[in-house]
């Protein structure tokens, strides 16, 4: 089997793709083996299962409740009330899921300013980590303004199969994650962030995966991101590591298949 990319973190149920989902997916299939698609709230779960039925063994579903929730009044920190109504859906589709995600911590000061909000995020995160362990699934993790706290909490909870997506914490924190066996993925937007180059340089290639975070974090800030932009992440990491893009694609794909064993099994079908 030729080694194609694996997009380890994208949002194929996002509203930005509602008008041309099929075209975006078909374009991505030219070079990508699998799209690991995450959710942010329970309203996306059934839509993602529908997409994975429509594109079997290509769109690989993850269910998760994100630490920041979008509402008609703007964004707010997650609460247990956002997670509890979805628990039956997690159970219903557990055999279909390749990971639990997008879950994690977001301590952005204007979104989660109080200790009560942060404690509630930790509860929601913990419950989903426990669910992942019970279902023997990896976790697809968000950590904004909370890199150190996220890695510490994951270790404290005994989580072993972890992808830290778009990680922007300190290199020392990342290396703590590397020691724990965690993986880190980077979207095309890293080409616009010199600070991230220092981080990528420190993390061994054997702990790196590729992602797009489509429709966000593309190579151009003002444009919608799509999975086919994954080549930008690959080429940028290759330039920092002094390797060929082909080598980075090969290793990151093998890393992804190791981290997400159900993706590997699905690709063999």
Question: Could you give the C-alpha distances from 231 to 14, 24, 129, 188, 201, in angstroms and in order?
Answer: 21, 15, 31, 8, 18
Q: Does residue 124 contact residue 78 with C-beta atoms inside 8 Å?
A: yes
Half-sphere exposure of 224 (CA within 13 A, CB side): 13
| Of the candidates 239, 242, 240, 237, the residue with the CA atom closest to the CA atom of residue 255 | 237
**Beta strands at 68-71 and 74-77: parallel, antiparallel or unpaired:** antiparallel
CA angle 58, 19, 8 (to 5 degrees): 30
Torsion angle of C-alpha atoms 241, 176, 152, 129, degrees rounded to 10: 60
104-130: burial string, b at 16+ Cβ within 10 Å, e else: bbbbeeebbeeeebbebbeebbebbbe
Q: Does residue 214 contact residue 12 with C-beta atoms inside 8 Å?
A: yes
CA distance 16 to 224: 8
Q: Which residues are annotated as a binding site?
A: 9, 11, 102, 142, 165, 213
Q: Which residues are annotated as a binding site for a divalent metal cation?
A: 9, 11, 102, 142, 165, 213
**Sign (positive or negative) of CA dihedral 194, 32, 269, 53:** positive
CA distance 217 to 71: 21
């Amino acid at each position: 089997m030729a080694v194609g990319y694996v997009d380890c973190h994208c949002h194929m149920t996002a509203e930005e793709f509602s008008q041309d989902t099929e075209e975006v997916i078909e374009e991505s299939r030219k070079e990508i083996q699998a799209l690991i698609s995450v959710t942010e709230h329970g309203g996306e779960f059934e839509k993602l299962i529908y997409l994975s039925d429509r594109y079997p063994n290509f769109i690989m579903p993850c269910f998760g409740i994100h630490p920041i929730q979008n509402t008609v009044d703007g964004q707010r920190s997650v609460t247990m009330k956002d997670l509890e109504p979805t628990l039956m859906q997690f159970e219903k589709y557990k055999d279909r899921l390749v990971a639990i995600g997008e879950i994690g911590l977001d301590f952005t000061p204007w979104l989660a300013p109080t200790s009560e909000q942060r404690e509630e995020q930790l509860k929601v995160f913990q419950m989903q980590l426990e669910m992942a362990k019970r279902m023997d699934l990896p976790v697809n993790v968000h950590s904004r303004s909370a890199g150190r706290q996220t890695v510490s909490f994951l270790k404290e909870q005994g989580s072993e199969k972890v992808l830290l997506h778009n990680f922007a914490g300190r290199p020392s924190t990342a290396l703590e994650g590397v020691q724990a066996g965690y993986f880190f993925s980077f979207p095309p937007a890293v080409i616009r962030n010199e600070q991230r180059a220092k981080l990528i340089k420190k993390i061994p290639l054997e702990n790196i995966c590729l992602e797009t975070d489509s429709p966000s974090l593309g190579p151009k800030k003002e444009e919608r991101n799509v999975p086919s932009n994954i080549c930008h992440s690959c080429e940028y990491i290759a330039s920092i590591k002094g390797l060929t893009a082909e080598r980075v694609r090969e290793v990151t794909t093998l890393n992804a298949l190791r981290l997400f064993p159900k993706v590997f099994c699905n690709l063999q079908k």
